[in-house]
């Protein structure tokens, strides 16, 4: 583990915290690897529930665009990042124990894939949700194009992908994107109580119920690999380069 991702365990509950608040908890390759280590640590038998969150005012802004710009071989780097994150998120989904996402602030891009890889999504009322890929000339990755239509339906997923629409927390709840919306300032308390309750429940039954309800995801690996291939092609195109440079101020 590194300072990029912190892992804590207490009384059956593992807490995984993405700790890049200065980068809105965006994910570069070192952070992706650190997140994978944390997920694998949470697979320990003593862990009965998992909480995933981001430090500061954001859950996760998606892939770190600045790291993409700085990569000597941009397509190769983006493909590796997308492939690594897709695998880490699948491992998170496959944990035979309940996983809670504690969401605050705007969530974008691969941050949505991380959120949707969790089983219960509790969000502060201030949260906002957007795909964001088209704004920088890129395409969905990390399982978003698999997970999002299954959460909100294909027409709504297409609207988010093609129009850049930003969903408020109440809209996200109405669409079925999140499980629960709580008042700002109460997120940690609510998630803490929920994690304790799940950790105190029948571990085997809850874990197997979760896996059964997610059993439709047998082809997610193929989708993740195709996403990685396409986004690696997209990042090398002139329009994406210009949009990413404008976004990052370079």
pLDDT score at 2: 67
Lookup: tokens for 154: 């294909």
Do residues 55 and 17 touch, judged by C-beta distance below 8 A?
A: yes
Rg from Cα positions in the chain = 17
Do residues 32 and 79 touch, judged by C-beta distance below 8 A?
A: no
| Backbone dihedral angles phi then psi of residue 31, each to the nearest 5 degrees | -70, -40
Helix H or strand E encompassing 53: strand 49-54
Kind of pairing, strands 49-54 and 99-103? Answer: parallel
Is pTM beyond 0.75? Reply is yes
Place of tokens 């399982």: 143
User: What is the rounded distance in angstroms from the CA atom of residue 73 to the CA atom of residue 159?
Assistant: 32
pLDDT in tens, the chain (250 residues): 569 999 999 999 999 999 999 999 999 999 999 999 999 999 999 999 999 999 999 999 999 999 999 999 999 999 999 999 999 999 999 999 999 999 999 999 999 999 999 999 999 999 999 999 999 999 999 999 999 999 999 999 999 999 999 999 999 999 999 999 999 999 999 999 999 999 999 999 999 999 888 877 557 787 788 888 888 989 998 989 899 999 898 7
């Amino acid at each position: 583990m590194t300072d990029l991702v912190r892992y804590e365990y207490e009384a059956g509950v593992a807490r995984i915290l993405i700790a890049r608040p200065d980068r809105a908890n965006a994910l570069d390759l070192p952070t992706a690897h650190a997140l994978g280590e944390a997920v694998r640590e949470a697979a320990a038998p003593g862990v009965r529930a998992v909480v995933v969150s981001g430090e500061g005012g954001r859950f996760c802004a998606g892939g770190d665009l600045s790291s993409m710009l700085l990569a000597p071989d941009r397509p190769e780097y983006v493909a590796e990042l997308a492939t690594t994150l897709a695998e880490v998120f699948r491992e998170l989904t496959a944990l035979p124990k309940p996983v809670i996402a504690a969401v605050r602030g705007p969530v974008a891009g691969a941050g949505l894939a991380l959120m949707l890889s969790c089983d219960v999504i509790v969000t502060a009322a201030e949260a906002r949700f957007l795909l964001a890929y088209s704004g920088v000339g890129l395409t969905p990755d990390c399982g978003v194009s698999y997970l999002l239509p299954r959460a909100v339906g294909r027409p709504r997923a297409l609207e988010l992908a093609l129009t850049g629409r930003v969903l408020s927390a109440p809209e996200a709840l109405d669409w079925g994107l999140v499980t629960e919306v709580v008042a700002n300032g109460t997120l940690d308390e609510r998630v803490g109580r929920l994690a304790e309750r799940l950790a105190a429940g029948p571990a085997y039954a809850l874990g197997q119920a979760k896996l059964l309800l997610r059993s439709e995801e047998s082809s997610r690996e193929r989708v993740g690999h195709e996403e990685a291939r396409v986004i690696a092609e997209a990042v090398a195109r002139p329009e994406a380069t210009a949009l990413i440079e404008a976004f990052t101020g370079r």
